[in-house]
Amino acid sequence: MKIHDLSHIICSDMPVFPGTEQPIFQKVNTLDENGFNEAKITMYSHTGTHIDAPAHVLDKGCHLDDLEINYFIGSATVLDFSNIKSQSIDIDCLKAYEEKIKYVEFVLIKTGWSRYWGEEKYYENFPSLSEKAAKWLSQFNLKGVGIDTISIDNSDSVIFAVHKVLLGKNIIIIENLTNLDSVKADNFILSVLPLKNKDADGSPVRAISIENI
């Protein structure tokens, strides 16, 4: 069994979605004063590698804690668009992978954009799904769709149409994935377990791939 970490590390100077705040780590107990170390962590629910719940953008959408635990683990495949010339990943791009998509529960979109993590370029002109491509994907029996960019919608979106299409079908979205090059198997197990928060519209996750070798 081979396990790969597909998550960015969470730290106080990490990239965050424009308009949100970076995490704050405050040491509240120390070995010298209290006999143990403990920190208070303040961060947004969509920090780092994270899951979007339907409630993130839909008024009647379910929260992460409404979903059974098995919803966050399942068979997965990586679709490689790291050489794509267009900013938009459309239906024709996806149809080449239709046979792979049919037999998995999670689709991870590799654009290679995670190499810009920590740079201004990470926030601009990244590849993303078109709304029509999202509608085509939503016809499959998927639990989730992930991508190695800061959003599955394009960088100029203010209505988040792709989010609404996928989340409207209870297909969770995983954003800010990384290290997708490490996954060599066509099919593997993906685990994206969220924190068990009440009424969670999203949650940071430790995304991992599990390959049988």
Q: For residue 47, what pLDDT is reported? A: 98
Would you say 60 and 23 are in contact if contact means Cβ atoms under 8 Å apart?
Answer: no
CA-nearest of 125, 145, 118 to 85 is 125
Residue with tokens 């143990």: 36
Residue 149 contacts by C-beta under 8 Å, 6 or more apart in sequence? Answer: 111, 113, 114, 122, 126, 127, 128, 175, 176
Question: Strand pairing partners for 80?
Answer: 110
Instruction: Give me the residues of the chain with pLDDT under 50, please.
Output: none
| pLDDT attached to residue 213 | 66
172-182 confidence digits (pLDDT tens)? 999 999 999 99
User: CA gyration radius for the chain?
Assistant: 17
Q: Is 56 a catalytic residue?
A: yes
Bridge partner list, 161: none
Res 158: pLDDT? 87
- Catalytically annotated residue among 8, 46, 50, 56: 56
User: Could you give all domains of the chain from N- to C-terminal order, each with its CATH number?
Assistant: 2-9+44-211 (3.50.30.50)
> Could you tell me the end-to-end alpha-carbon distance of the chain, in angstroms, rounded to an integer?
5
